[in-house]
Amino acid sequence: MKFKTGIAFLSAVVLAVFMVPQQAVSADNDDRWEQKNLRSEYHSMTITRVYDGLENPWGVAFMPDGSYLVTERAGKLKHISDGSSREISGIPSDLMARGQGGLLDVSLHPDYEENGWIYLSYSKSNGNGQTALAVIRARIDGSSLTDVEEIFIQDRFSQPGRHYGSRFAWMLDGTLIFSIGDRGNEPPRAQAKDDHAGTVIRINYDGSVPEDNPFYGHDDALPEIYAYGSRNIQGMIVDPVTGEIWATEHGPRGGDELNMIEAGKNYGWPTVTLGRDYRTEGTFPGSEARSKEGMVDPVHEFLPTLAPSGLALITTDTFPRWNGNLIAGGLRPERALRLLIEDHTVIHEEELFLQVVGRIRDVREGPNGNIYLLNDEPNGGLFRVSRN
């Protein structure tokens, strides 16, 4: 696949910072907050806060009427419309919001206007202090969920708090893929094909398993697994033209990655990693090398660290010079990166939104071609990026 921008003469990765750093926005109930005339290499932009007062928002989905569904990690689903919000009740009572866990991603079925299905992921408690990632589908009736069905649950409960992954994306054939992190305490789980931890999962819209999954019918593997060997994918998109899957993944200390996910492939964690152990700053326990035959190397390593979360592919001409580029959100550095890719190689980066909205949890291209950001703050918000 070739991502086109009209500047094919670029042949090396260049970090170009054209954004003037701003103070992270605080939720002060001023719904007119804007940062105007923010400059990038090709476009001047305005960032407008659509809604504030969200508690650690995690994922956003766009409703056909122009409103938004936003998840809050603490366990609430908000429907935002015309500057106000209402809470949608009916979230499963076994949700455990602890550490990185809670109510996570949200997505609409591609045929939502015909069937009304929405999909939610969350950390499910077993009542004994352990959690597993679960996925439900439901419909919205007024201000509550109805027809709630659990369509997936991780095969093993473990200590809560870290590495749930959980980003949704829809493949061109209508199947749903989503990530599950290695759950933190036992990284080698990501190398076990009989364990959901550290994988990309592919299921049908009703939770059944596609028979063309790479490990379907294998006695030594779980049939839902599409790819494995990942630490914690929190950004994932499917190219609507080519069907290619792009994902951004947290490394340990360093080693944040951009990967192209392919069926049946092993992405190496923790046997190979570009990062270092938090505790010793040496190589990660159990890692053998930075690369190994039979394991997929990342397309790109984010240097310095990005702490990636949220990934968008620009597909419209609202930002014409960015068409075909990826926008990868970052948490700790409070920024995003625009990635120009040719022949599956990142040949250029541009830093965007540096310290403008805070920790970027989610990045989406909206139906109108604008870009939407969620910031992961206790009093966070939803922001719209439009071209001047």
Task: Kindly state whether residue 9 falls inside one of the protein's structural domains.
Answer: no
pLDDT at residue number 33: 87
Alpha-carbon distances, residue 298 vs 13, 251, 262 (angstroms): 15, 11, 12
Residue 53 has pLDDT above 80, yes or no: yes
Task: Kindly state whether residue 4 falls inside one of the protein's structural domains.
Answer: no
Residue 299 has pLDDT above 80, yes or no: yes
Residue-wise pLDDT for 83-107, tens only, equals 999 999 999 999 999 999 999 999 9
pLDDT at residue number 85: 97
pLDDT at residue number 17: 39
Task: Kindly state whether residue 303 falls inside one of the protein's structural domains.
Answer: yes
Single out the catalytic residue among 109, 163, 250, 348. Answer: 163
Quote the CA–CA distance of 246 and 235 in Å, as a whole number. 8
3-state secondary structure of 91: coil
pLDDT at residue number 5: 41
Q: How far is CA 26 from the centre of its chain?
A: 23
pLDDT at residue number 69: 98
Top-confidence residue, 320 or 24:
320
Task: Kindly state whether residue 134 falls inside one of the protein's structural domains.
Answer: yes
Residue 151 has pLDDT above 50, yes or no: yes
pLDDT at residue number 383: 98
Task: Kindly state whether residue 8 falls inside one of the protein's structural domains.
Answer: no
Residue 337 has pLDDT above 70, yes or no: yes
pLDDT at residue number 188: 94
Residue 280 has pLDDT above 60, yes or no: no
Structure tokens at 112: 């939502």
Q: How confident is the model at residue 276 (pLDDT cuts 50, 70, 90)?
A: confident
Residue-wise pLDDT for 181-239, tens only, equals 999 989 999 999 999 999 999 999 999 999 999 999 999 999 999 999 999 999 999 99
Phi first, then psi: what are they for 304, rounded to 5°? -70, 180
Task: Kindly state whether residue 126 falls inside one of the protein's structural domains.
Answer: yes
| Strands 245-249 and 233-238, sheet pairing | antiparallel
Mean pLDDT, the chain, integer: 91
pTM score, whole prediction? 0.90
Task: Kindly state whether residue 1 falls inside one of the protein's structural domains.
Answer: no
> Domain tally for the chain?
1
3-state secondary structure of 353: coil
pLDDT at residue number 1: 46
Structure tokens at 81: 């419309």
Full domain range(s) for residue 276: 15-387
CATH of the domain at 357: 2.120.10.30
Task: Kindly state whether residue 5 falls inside one of the protein's structural domains.
Answer: no
Does the active-site annotation cover 344?
no
